[in-house]
Chains A and B, each alone.
Chain A
Amino acid sequence: MRDATGSAEPPLVRVRDLKMFFPVHTGVLRRHTGDVKAVDGVSFDIMEGETLGLVGESGCGKSTVGRALLRLCEITGGSVTIGGVDVATLSPAELRKARPLMQMVFQDPQASLNPRMTVAAIIGEPLDEHTTLSRDEKLARIYELMDAVGLNRRFASHYPHEFSGGQRQRIGIARALALNPKFIVCDEPIAALDVSIQAQVVNLLEDLQDRLGLTYLFISHDLSMVRHIADRVAVMYLGQIAELSPREALYAEPLHPYAKALLSAVPEPDPDREATRKRIILKGDVPSPANPPKGCNFCTRCPEAQERCHSTAPRLSEVAPGRFVACHRVTESAGATGATMANEHNQMGENE
């Protein structure tokens, strides 16, 4: 897949045909009777210094993609390359060495911080594991990190419960930064926070990116916040990418029917616009990923579905420069260029 900017540099993160199935065991003998296809053939690139937004509804597999990228769970198939290292095939010892490169900021700052450790111990833990710094050097680094995320040094010996949600998220960010990573997966970092605190954390993430040249995968269900922070946005539905487009293009004119419906469903704080906006109301619920529909996985709710959508699955193909869409109707109207890119994707063996 080509990147949107057209530069020749290789991407920092390259994901090809990522699959993550969770087996279902039933019966007395716990026989393997099926799989929950949480992520089913996802491919994308993230360039260095870029923020890729990953949006979708709960259960679409966006968090699983984030966890699989850092190999927090063993992936079922496909490849993940981060900074030239194929993360998917590393042995446990090699993986441990590669860990400082990639870090994660978790959704719930309450659950992801050990309540029995002080802030200094939490931020310093990655340093204990991966570096040979002396005590003093470690403390100096911890203070430096606390300054970087806007936490007062006085609180180094306090415990997580003494902090508010926004401050706890800052602790989580400081911990992720401890080893100078290049790539950070932010898994719904602001979902548990109040609106006025969300802006503080998002601004912090942006400042850190400017200063340290970080690359983010920003997973969120908040489409307006993703528009603010991401350079490119991937919309996921039922374990697959429905559309991957540059931010401006996607929000100005979404191409995939699901992306259209999703964007139209987001309420806007403007009564005049709300009164005139045309909303696409999707019928029904997301099908179970254990038993996805035949053909296009969106065909059961798609307002534009045709006959072939129920039989063949569309492939993610480039329909305009930098815009990738998995929809028969869109690729058809995009014409010849779409077809060639679709072929390239076939050769990459997507979806099969």
Chain B
Amino acid sequence: MPDGAQAVLDVRGLETVFCTRGAEIHAVNKVSFHLKPGELLGVVGESGSGKSVTMMSLIGLLPSPPAEVRSGEVLLGGKDILKLSPTELRHVRGARVGFVFQDPMTSLNPVFTVGDQIMEPLRSHMRMSKAEARRRAAELLTLVGIPDADKRLKNYPHQFSGGMRQRVMIAMALACDPEVLIADEPTTALDVTIQAQIIELVKELRQKLGMAIVWITHDLGVVAGIADRVMVMYGGQVVEQAPVKELFGNPRHPYTRALLKAVPALSGERAGRLQVIEGQPPMLGSAPTSCPFRSRCTHAFDRCGKENPARRALDDKPLDHGHDVACHWNPEPADA
């Protein structure tokens, strides 16, 4: 994909805060990223790193209060969707941005048939007649690899297995041909062999439909196999962003490096002892004034405690297009 291509989704300086009794949680701090047409962006981070909250605040899925999007712009096809009215936003959610959630059991309604649930966005956003919507729903089920689609439309979610339910979720998200598909840990609740099926399916659908995808995961292995670009999040911030090969081949942020070493390999040399990241993830009680990874970082020095590092490009490409990192530390040539 040429660098000059217009981004379908462009997020700038997004900041989300949860206000609870007497306390604030700064879950997302100045997150910026963009998504080009047909691109798959992997978002990696541990629980509490802000990856899901970022994606949910984009399209107004967080209940407010307690959540509050303090600042930032979310440009979808050039238009800021944070400024839209609730009705307009609802149209964006169903028709232009599809969302696949982690747990396919709790995100499907158990008292409606799968057919009803897939037809719902088609009827409300595309104004299809019942018969049309049913035909399209059957098409979608076939597309995501569920055999015998006409019959299966009449089934309830509990009649599907976990992997099949996730396929139904994907079919629902794809119903109105969205420009952007956001998949929030879509395979975490599934077994590895089923995960492999879903990953193959998404790869195939990408080729067929050409939409842009944001894939949130904590599994570095999944990202390595499917992503074009990877964004690593920690403590509500983007700490590193790079094309997939560059990130795995030349990780620069101490957190990314530690994360890659903490996972034992499936092949090759077996490590004698796993490298651990000591300590705990940060509490996000206030807007960060220092590097969030400081207390767990082996390379931390005084500047890390005084100043929250801004993202800086490591190559001559503009920020967010090449390899960038939010870290004060410069590895010695021997370490790099």
* Chain A residues at the B interface, C-beta cutoff of 8 Å: 57-58, 164, 166, 194-196, 198-200, 202-203, 206, 221, 223-225, 227-228, 251, 261-275, 279, 281-282, 285
Contact = CB atoms under 8 A, between A and B. Distances in A.
Contacts of B249: 271
B199 A267 contact: yes
A274 B273 contact: no
B245 interface: yes
Chain A's interface: helix, strand, loop or mixed, by majority? helix
Interface residues of B, number: 45
B187 to A, nearest CB: 9
Nearest to A274: B225
A298 B73 CA distance: 52
A271 B248 contact: yes
Contacts of B270: 227-228
Contacts of B161: 285
Contacts of A271: 224-225, 244-245, 248-249
Contacts of A200: 276, 278
Nearest to B225: A274
B316 to A, nearest CB: 23
Contacts of A273: 224, 267
Given A203-B273, A268-B224, A227 B264 contact: yes
Contacts of A285: 161, 163-164, 194
Contact of B220 (A206, A269, A272): A269
A279 B263 contact: no
A202 B260 contact: no
B218 interface: yes
A196 B267 contact: no
B258 A196 contact: yes
A267 B44 CA distance: 14
6 contacts: A195-B220, A196-B46, A203-B273, A228-B270, A269-B220, A271-B225
B163 A224 contact: no
A196 B274 contact: no
Given A203-B274, A270-B248, A195 B263 contact: yes
A273 B245 CA distance: 11
B254 to A, nearest CB: 12
A196 B277 contact: yes
Contact of A164 (B192, B264, B280): B280
Contact of B46 (A195, A203, A221, A251): A195
Contact of A269 (B191, B221, B277): B221
Given A194-B47, A196-B46, A271-B244, A251 B266 contact: yes
Contacts of B107: none
Given A194-B46, A195-B259, A57 B267 contact: no
Nearest first, the 6 A-B pairs at minimum CB distance are A267-B221, A228-B264, A57-B191, A269-B220, A265-B196, A196-B277
Interface string B202-217: 0000000000000000
B264 A224 contact: yes
B6 interface: no
Given A195-B218, A223-B266, A281-B200, A269 B192 contact: no
Contacts of B224: 267-271, 273-274
Contacts of A268: 221, 224-225, 265-267
Given A203-B274, A224-B265, A57 B192 contact: yes
Nearest to B244: A271
A263 B266 CA distance: 8
B191 A228 contact: no
Contacts of B197: 281-282
A292 B280 CA distance: 45
A275 B249 CA distance: 14
A285 B162 CA distance: 9
A195 B262 contact: yes
Contacts of A227: 264-266, 270
B307 to A, nearest CB: 24
B109 interface: no
B259 A266 contact: no
A196 to B, nearest CB: 4
Contacts of A281: 193, 196-197, 200
